[in-house]
Amino acid sequence: MSGIPVSVETCANCGKVSGNAVKLKNCMACRLVKYCSVGCQKAHRKQHKKACKRRVAELKDEQLYSQGLERSEDAFCPLCTLPIALPMNENSGFNECCMKRVCRGCVLAAQKSGMFDTCPFCRAKMARDNASALDMARVRAEKKDPAAIEFLGSKYYFGTYGLKKNVPRGIELFTEAAELGSIDAHVKLGQAYLYGIGVAQDNAKGVHHFELAAMQGSVESRHNLGCYEVQKGNHERAVRHWLISAKMGNNFSLEYVKDMFKGGVATKEQYAEALKGYQDSIEETKSPGRDEAKKVFPVRDECKTTFGKTWGFIPAGRDD
C-alpha cells in the first residue's frame, strides 16, 4: 500500500459508491456531481440547483472571455494577409464575385497592374452594377455560401442595391447564414433582436447572437456586449469585454475603458493594457502600400470619432 488516499466517487443523492455494479454519470450541466440513476438526479435537483446554475454561469464566462481574442479570419486581407483597419468597409473593397474583402493597399496594387475591372483575389470580372452584384451573390447563395446569403440578407434588410426593403426576408436570410457559420449574420441578428427590428424584441436572443459572434472574433459584437453589460449596471463585465475589443483595434472600446478608469471602475493597469493593445493592433494594419492607398482612397479617421459616455452600440453596417 502506498498510503496515498484514493478518491471514491459516490452518487450525490444516495451515496452509492462507483463500481462494477454501479455506473455513475455526471450532471451534464455543471459536471460537479455524479448520480447513479435518473431518479437520484431528480431527487437531488432542488438541493443541487443553486450550485449547478452558479457553475454553469462560471463555465459560460470562461468560454466567453477566453475565446475570440483575435480578429476573425475574414478581417484579414486574403492577399497581403494583414488585418484590415477599422472601420473595415472604409479600408477595403468587397467583391461579390468571391465574397472576399481586399484591403485598399492591395486594390491599389492591382489597379497599378491594370486590373480595374478584375477581382484582385479570384481574377473574375467584377460586378458592373448592383444588379450584376446581386446575380453573383444569388449564384453563390444557391450553393449555400454563408457570406453570400448574409450579403443578400443585408440588401433586403436595408433596402439597398435596388431591392425593396423587406426586413422579414432579411431576417430569414440572416438566420440561414448564421446557421451556416456567418459571423456577420450573428452580429445583425443580435441587433435585430435587441431593438426588435423585424422580430419580437428579445434581449436574451440578441445577446446570444452577439456572444456567438464575439467568441469567433467579431470586434463589434464584443464591443456591443460591453455596452449591454454597462446598461445593466455590470461595469466590471463591460470592462472585460472592452479590453478585448480595444486590443483588437476598436477605438470606441478604448475610450470606454478610459472613461471607466476615470470613473474608478477600471484599474490603471487595465487602461494601460487596453491602450498598448490598441496601439499594437493599429501598427499591425499598416504597410507602405496602404499608406499610399490612403492618399488615393481617403477614409474617415476613426480615432476622431467616439460615442462618448452614452455607451452606444456599434450598428451593423449597411453595405458589405
pLDDT (tens digit per residue) in 268-296: 999 999 999 999 999 999 999 999 999 99
Domain with CATH 3.30.40.10 in the chain: 72-126
Task: Report residue 199 as a C-alpha cell.
Answer: 422580430
* pLDDT of 6 higher than 50: no
φ, ψ of residue 76 to 5 degrees: the values are -110, 140
Alpha helices in 266-313 (DSSP H): 268-284, 288-296
Give CA–CA dist 107/290, Å, rounded.
9
Per-residue pLDDT reduced to its tens digit, 20-38: 888 999 999 998 899 999 9
Domain with CATH 1.25.40.10 in the chain: 129-214
How does DSSP classify residue 9? -
The helix (H) or strand (E) run that includes residue 100 is: strand 100-103
Alpha helices in 89-202 (DSSP H): 104-112, 130-142, 146-158, 167-179, 183-195
Give CA–CA dist 9/27, Å, rounded.
13
* Topology adopted by domain 72-126: Herpes Virus-1 (3.30.40)
* pLDDT of 302 higher than 60: no
pTM for this structure?
Answer: 0.86
Taking the domain 129-214, which CATH number applies?
Answer: 1.25.40.10
Give CA–CA dist 64/214, Å, rounded.
8
Angle ∠(262,265,268) on CA atoms, nearest 5: 65
φ, ψ of residue 70 to 5 degrees: the values are -120, 155
Categorise residue 196: left if φ over 0, alpha if ψ from -120 to 50, beta otherwise: left
* pLDDT of 306 higher than 90: no
Task: Report residue 114 as a C-alpha cell.
Answer: 491594370
3-state secondary structure of 238: helix
Q: Which residues pair with 252 in a beta bridge?
A: none
Of the options 1.25.40, 1.10.3470, 1.10.10, 1.20.140, the CATH number for the domain spanning 217-285: 1.25.40
